[in-house]
């Protein structure tokens, strides 16, 4: 089963627990950008679609901490893995398509 593009949001609120928000982007309209906020200077990372936005910045919107650096490295490594997986699966898809087109 293949679904069309979508963004999925969940909000869980349980007694005696902190609320939890989950956002899943499954859309080609996803935009990702990063930069520095000039008025405070602090870095930010933003994921956005027409349906939802996710903003990531430093702890308490303050100076960069050791934990902020560790989190940024985790984001970088996860993004590199995501890219590698996407490239591999895309190449496999193209190879399968070429094999099917050649056989036809």
Q: What is the pLDDT along the chain (104 residues), one digit of tens a residue?
A: 677 888 889 999 999 999 999 999 999 989 999 999 878 889 999 999 988 899 999 998 888 999 999 999 999 999 999 999 999 999 999 998 878 878 77
Alpha helices, H only, 1-104: 66-103
pLDDT, position 1: 64
pLDDT, position 96: 85
- Neighbouring residues of 47: CB distance < 8 A, sequence distance ≥ 6: 25, 30, 31, 32, 53, 54
* Nearest partner of 34 among 21, 49, 48, 52, judged by Cα: 48
DSSP state of 17: S
């Amino acid at each position: 089963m293949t679904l069309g593009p979508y963004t999925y949001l969940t909000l869980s609120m349980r007694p005696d627990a902190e609320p939890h928000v989950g956002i899943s982007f499954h859309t080609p309209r996803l935009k990702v950008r990063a930069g520095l906020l000039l008025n405070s200077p602090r870095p930010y990372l933003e994921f956005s679609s027409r349906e939802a936005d996710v903003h990531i910045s430093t702890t308490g919107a303050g100076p960069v901490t050791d934990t902020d650096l560790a989190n940024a490295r985790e984001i970088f490594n996860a993004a590199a893995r995501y890219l590698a997986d996407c490239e591999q699966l895309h190449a496999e898809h193209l190879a399968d398509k070429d094999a099917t087109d050649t056989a036809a």
